[in-house]
Amino acid sequence: AQKVTQAQTEISVVEKEDVTLDCVYETRDTTYYLFWYKQPPSGELVFLIRRNSFDEQNEISGRYSWNFQKSTSSFNFTITASQVVDSAVYFCALRLTNSGAGSYQLTFGKGTKLSVIP
């Protein structure tokens, strides 16, 4: 079975600070996708990024960056120069890519609540 652990339950930062959200995953499969979603107070899950297990290249998109390290089974998410609008719950998730059971369901972590204080 798959498992995603987000050890940080809540984080508070002052606006303009950088913040890193940790994600550690467990799976016996060698091929999988990793995701980050944002859930603002409105409740809707907003997709941020998908990473294939074959691609360990880090990615930067504006103020967001992701560090995927297969050796430590981690997929961390950094927000640079945080803003109040970044306040939300952030979820890391995993999905297998084989054709069998579990290849369509997302396994989520418990989420990290980020509060950016003005």
Partner 1 sequence: GAGVSQTPSNKVTEKGKYVELRCDPISGHTALYWYRQSLGQGPEFLIYFQGTGAADDSGLPNDRFFAVRPEGSVSTLKIQRTERGDSAVYLCASSLMGSGGPRMQYFGPGTRLTVL
The residues binding partner 1 (CB under 8 A) are: 4, 37, 42-45, 47, 50, 91, 93, 97, 99, 101, 103-111
Q: How far is the CB of 9 from partner 1 (least distance, A)?
A: 8
CB of 95 to partner 1, least distance (A): 8
List residues bridging with 25 in a β-sheet: 4
Minimum gap (Å) between residue 99 Cβ and partner 1: 7
- CB closer to partner 1 out of 67 and 95: 95
Q: Name the CA dihedral angle for 116, 56, 75, 36, rounded to a multiple of 10 degrees.
A: 60
Q: Characterize 85-108 residue by residue with b for buried, 16 or more Cβ atoms within 10 angstroms of its Cβ, and e for exposed.
A: ebbbbbbbbbbbeeeeebeeebbe
